[in-house]
Each structure stands twice: as C-alpha cells, then as structure tokens.
Chains A and B, each alone.
Chain A
C-alpha cells in the first residue's frame, strides 16, 4: 500500500475541522462525504446551481417577451386584456400562500415535528393543485375563444398577428411554469410521506430544504409572469 500523505516538513498543515454527527454515522450520510455538514453544504450548493440554470432556462423566454413586447407594445397590451387578471391575481395569492406553507413545512422539518411537516406539505400540494386547476380553467377559456395560436386562432383587430405571438408566449411561459409545478407536486408528496415517517429532524432535513428552494423558485417565476402577462392591458379600456 503506498503511503499517500506527503512529507510533513513544511510547517503546520491547516486541516479544516468538520463537525461529526454525534460521533456515529447518521443513516442518511453518504459514503463519500466526511460528515453530514459537508453533505448538506454540497447538496445545498448543488440545488442553488440547479436553480441558477433554471433562471437562465426561463430567462430565454423572458428575453423573447422583452423583445417582442418592446416591438409591439400596443398589440401586447391589447392581447393581455383578454386574460382574466382576477384569476391571475387569485393564482398569485394561492402560490404565495403555498410558499408560506412550504416555508413552514421546512421549519417543521428542522424541528423534527412529524405531523406538522406532513400537514404543511400537504397544504402546499393542495394550494398547488388549486393553482393548476385555475390554469386549466383559463386554458379552457382560451380554447373556447379561439385564442390558442395555430390554425384555429381567431382575433379581432389590426394587431392580430403580434397578438398571436403574445399568446404563444403566454402558453409557452405559463405552460413551462405549470410543468415545473406538476413535477414538484409528487416530490412534495414524497417529502410529506418521509416526514410523516420521521426521517427528518434538526440533524438532517436537507431534502425538504431543497424541495423548498425549488418550490419558492417556481413561485418567483410566477411573481414575474403575473404582471408581465396579465397586467399589461389593465390600464387600458377593456375590449
């Protein structure tokens, strides 16, 4: 066996001290990490990097929006007034509420309160489902009014063509957002289940934290989508 430690003549070596989890390996500790601290820091950084790339992912669509809105401000404002801002506002409140319940769920996990974790996360799922339900209603209305881009698109007015771009953006952006929520809900369900089973506590609740980060990110996207898509035409007379 080769000795891999290098010669020690070069003065004191600064070895970062890492806390051990109560002197024995926590069942959640993965083999290649020295301890739970390192594992949690690494997981958190990983999740933040994932969110960073999600910001750039949605960012491409926000760029499309920014350019086209600046090219066709009147058409966009008019098209936007076809969206029901009240439903949009309701959804905003619902999603913000789900962020609150999520944060409280993470809080409960950090304290190891089994039942609280499960209930808060279930509340988050319910609110998320309400959001999606409202979106289904909205999309249904768009279908009825022939506002879905494509061969059946029908729009009165001189700005019909850029309006179709607006609706393409509307469906792309809210659709991608909804997809992210649909992915998030089963993950929340897993977390609720694991929390109910007592897997989380002050030492280890990283999965819930990371799920929280993801969910809050999805909320932030909607925080921008709502004014940009729904409130453009609000100060104009309704069509």
Chain B
C-alpha cells in the first residue's frame, strides 16, 4: 500500500456519488423493468462497491498484488455462486430436481 494520500475532495465526491446512487436504486426499485430488475439493482450496488473499493479503500492507488487479491476474492465468490446455480439452471436433464416443489414458481 503506497503512502499516497488521497485528497478530501475526492472523498466528498465519492460520498456524493454514493448518495446519488442510493437514491437511484430506491427510485429504480419502485419501477418494474421486467427481466432487468436484478441487473439494475445489482449493477448499481456493484457501482457503489467499486467506488468504495477504489477510493475509500485506496485500491486505485495500491499495488498490483492488492488488486489481484481483491479481484481474486470476487472471482472465487462468483465461482461459488455460478457453480452452484448451474445445478439449478442447467438445461433439461433433471435440473434442480432436488429442490422441493413447495410453491415452486
């Protein structure tokens, strides 16, 4: 981690952006975008997280190793989620058959 000192103006800018994005996500939730609902909600959350990671947590100014560790963690998280979900969503062949049929939609 470098001794680079991030200026307060950047912090305030990021803070404002985070508030704005929070407002947008609340607004977006009240509208039905159909299939895009998840994409919009997660997309905004990811954008906020990226801002916090890059600026509040200084990753933008950090070493490649730090960036690799951060990216790696998210890659493995994605692996966990995607790897499991593909049991539930794979084409035909008894996909997700073990999930109980109680009020399944």
A–B contact (CB under 8 angstroms): yes
Q: What 0/1 pattern do residues 36 to 50 of B give for CB contact below 8 A with A?
A: 010001101100110
Confirm or deny: A175 has a beta carbon within 8 angstroms of a beta carbon on chain B: no
Asked if A184 is an interface residue, CB under 8 A from chain B, the answer is no
Instruction: Determine if A31 is an interface residue (Cβ-Cβ < 8 Å).
Output: no
From A55, A59, A223, contact of B45 by CB (8 A)? A223
CA separation between A218 and B29, bound complex, in Å? Answer: 23
Contact A52 B25 (CB under 8 A): no
Q: Which residues of B contact A53 (CB under 8 A)?
A: 73
CA distance A59 to B79 in the complex (A): 10
Whole-angstrom CA separation of A223 from B43 in the bound complex = 11
Q: Report, as a range, how many residues of chain A touch the other chain.
A: 35 or more
Contacts of A52 in B (CB 8 A): 69-70, 72-73
Are the C-beta atoms of A51 and B1 separated by less than 8 Å?
Answer: no
Contact across chains for A55 and B29 when beta carbons are under 8 A apart: no
Q: Is the CB of B69 within 8 A of A45?
A: yes
Q: Interface of B with A (CB < 8 Å)?
A: 1, 3, 5-6, 8, 11-12, 14-15, 18-19, 22, 25-26, 29-32, 37, 41-42, 44-45, 48-49, 52-53, 55-58, 62-63, 65-66, 69-70, 72-74, 76-77, 80-81, 84-85, 88-89, 96, 99, 102-105
In the complex, 7 of the A-B residue pairs with CB atoms within 8 angstroms, ordered by the A residue number, are A56-B73, A63-B81, A63-B84, A72-B103, A111-B5, A227-B44, A235-B31
